[in-house]
Amino acid sequence: MRDENIENGNLEYSVIPIFPDAQARLLADMRGSDSNRQFIISNNLGPYTCIEYGDGEKYNLSHEFEIDGRRARLMYVSSDSVVGGREVRYIHPKIIYQSNSHGLWRILPEHEQSGRFTKEGAWGNEEDDLSLPIKLQKALTELDMSQRGSIISRLRRLIRRDPDLGSSIVERFSALSQSSGGFHLGIEERLQIANTDLGSGPPSDPGKIDVNDGEMAPNYNLLEDSWDADFGSLYGRGRSYVYKSYNGQLRYLINVTNSGKIWVAQIERVPPDIHPFWKVSRRPVDAGFITTMPYDYEDQIPAYIPRKYVKSGPGGKKFGPYRDISRYVFGIPIVQEARRVIAGYNKY
């Protein structure tokens, strides 16, 4: 369902099924061991669906599965090399997953035994660099909501019964498993838009968190797109909204849950300049604490955020290691304005 006042829905895509013969061709070109290829075939993790955009950009995806309660898929990325004077296509399967605390789909670097997804080895050492582009956030969310069925349930049941299967998927296809010595994108340029940076820590007053140039702020009269979403087990369902900045150079993804949580989930450049191999931005936006999310690990909430802003997890109950800092997030001016504007679509 689309809102009537959308400026232009240029995040549109097509979903194309990948039939067995095309799937076999993709797997035949897969880079890596025959063991990995057979593992994919025997566990029904081959490319099943293609997301295609108007410019010809394609993303080949497996069925959805779960790793430690997080939604995940294999994304099959192609790269071209010249071997013996001729061009050869290689296919590389990579794990993408939906973050619990951010509600965003990301490249999976590595998995810890504790159940956390470590970000060590990630280029730039910033967590937001792992997020897939906003147009793919939309497609993956809608695909997830439309394709739930017997295959997805079967994969989830298999992994729940056999935790080693989930571990094997990570060991074989996480980003760090495919790169010796860590994986590095080599950021070409990072755009600093916040008046506070991550290194200095968040101010005790969230009202001081803002962009350093008003032209970079979201223009809430320019709604580019919106869609129903499921943000995962921590947040539940809601709706995502995309707004352009006043100067048109940035795109803001703002998530709103049915329970009233709201946050700036992602900010990217227009266009985002996607890396052809890792499928994340080569010129990311450093948003500082503007993209603070309502839930985070207790040990990652800085001590200088006043404790009055921190409470236990969803429903007032302890939710694993996560704590609720939505009161702090609501104090960020961009989020305050989003609540006022989007109140016409969602009740708080």
**pLDDT tens by residue, 24-39:** 999 998 877 788 889 8
pLDDT tier for residue 123 given thresholds of 50, 70 and 90: very low
Answer with the residue of higher pLDDT: 346 or 53.
53
pTM: 0.85
Q: Which range has the worst mean pLDDT, 172-181, 184-193, 253-262, 288-297?
A: 172-181
Range list of β-strands (E), the chain: 14-17, 49-52, 58-61, 65-67, 70-83, 86-98, 105-107, 191-192, 218-230, 237-245, 250-257, 262-269, 285-286, 295-297, 322-324
**Which residue from 315, 30, 266, 288 is spatially nearest to 141, judged by alpha carbons?**
266
Q: Quickly tell me which residue has 């001081």 as its tokens.
A: 208
Q: What angle do CA 341, 328, 296 make, to 5 degrees?
A: 110
pLDDT tier for residue 7 given thresholds of 50, 70 and 90: very low
pLDDT score, position 181: 46
> Which residue type sits at 310?
V
**pLDDT tens by residue, 273-317:** 888 888 888 889 989 889 999 988 877 776 667 888 887 655 544
pLDDT tier for residue 122 given thresholds of 50, 70 and 90: very low
pLDDT tier for residue 114 given thresholds of 50, 70 and 90: very low
What percent of the chain is modeled with pLDDT above 90? 37
Q: How far apart are CA 96 and CA 131, in angstroms?
A: 9
Query: Within 10 A of 306 (CB to CB), how many other CB atoms are there?
Result: 12
The values of phi and psi at residue 22, to 5°, are -70, -35
**Does pLDDT of 119 surpass 70?**
no
pLDDT score, position 21: 95
| Coil/strand/helix, residue 341 | helix
**Alpha helices (H) in the chain, listed in sequence order:** 20-28, 34-42, 134-146, 150-161, 163-173, 326-330, 333-342
Q: Which range has the worst mean pLDDT, 4-18, 68-82, 333-347?
A: 4-18
pLDDT score, position 249: 96
Answer with the residue of higher pLDDT: 208 or 115.
208
Mean pLDDT of 111-122: 47
pLDDT score, position 110: 57
pLDDT tier for residue 247 given thresholds of 50, 70 and 90: very high
What percent of the chain is modeled with pLDDT above 70? 75
**pLDDT tens by residue, 186-230:** 567 888 998 876 556 667 889 999 999 999 999 999 999 999 999
As a dihedral over the C-alpha atoms of residue 140, residue 144, residue 145, residue 151, rounded to 10 degrees, the angle is: 160
Mean pLDDT of 112-129: 53
> Which residue type sits at 173?
F
Answer with the residue of higher pLDDT: 319 or 317.
319
**pLDDT tens by residue, 34-82:** 888 898 998 889 999 999 998 888 999 998 888 877 889 999 988 776 5
